């Protein structure tokens, strides 16, 4: 088996439904990095943006000669679909997932892992940037106007 690459993907729709942006971070076994931030011509919802991010990631991985990868996504919809736990009947998504299945056949290994949003921040930043959105503001659990006694 070839060496395993780590790939983080994220997609965003602004608004949802709206313009789609995808972010992809590919990390080679030796630590080399390749980033993609791309606005797509299609319009759609967040789930479609997340799925299209996988399409872009697999296209880039194939272009780079990657044979085995571990795909990280913070979308349970994506991970459940790609791991076979769920099969969507939504037509627009089904078309994208069918394309992903065809792409996956060209790789030796495509593992899929659900990660927390905080662990997918770089791909999120790239996806949001593709549609002109800034980084998400992390909100504190504590309100600034709370008085401490």
- pTM (2 d.p.): 0.88
Question: What Cα–Cα distance (Å) separates residue 123 from each residue in 55, 129, 135?
Answer: 14, 10, 11
Domains of the chain: residue spans and CATH: 4-130 (3.30.420.10)
Tens-level pLDDT at each residue, the chain (149 residues): 559 999 999 999 998 899 999 999 999 999 999 999 999 999 999 999 999 999 999 999 999 999 999 999 999 999 999 999 999 888 889 999 999 999 999 999 999 999 998 899 999 999 999 998 876 655 555 554 444 44
Cβ neighbours around 72 below 10 Å, total: 23
Alpha helices in 1-149 (DSSP H): 46-63, 76-82, 91-104, 121-130
């Amino acid at each position: 088996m070839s060496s395993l690459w780590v790939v983080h993907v994220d997609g965003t729709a602004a608004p949802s439904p709206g313009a789609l942006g995808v972010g992809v971070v590919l990390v080679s076994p030796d630590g080399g990095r390749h980033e993609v931030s791309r606005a797509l011509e299609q319009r759609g919802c967040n789930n479609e943006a997340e799925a299209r991010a996988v399409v872009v990631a697999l296209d880039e991985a194939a272009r780079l000669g990657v044979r085995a990868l571990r795909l990280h996504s913070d979308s349970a919809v994506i991970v459940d679909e790609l791991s076979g736990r769920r099969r969507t009947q939504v037509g627009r998504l089904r078309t994208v997932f069918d394309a992903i299945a065809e792409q996956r056949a060209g790789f030796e290994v495509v593992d899929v892992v659900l990660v927390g949003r905080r662990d997918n921040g770089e791909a999120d930043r790239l996806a949001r940037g593709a549609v002109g959105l800034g980084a998400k503001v992390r909100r504190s659990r504590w309100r600034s106007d709370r008085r401490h006694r």
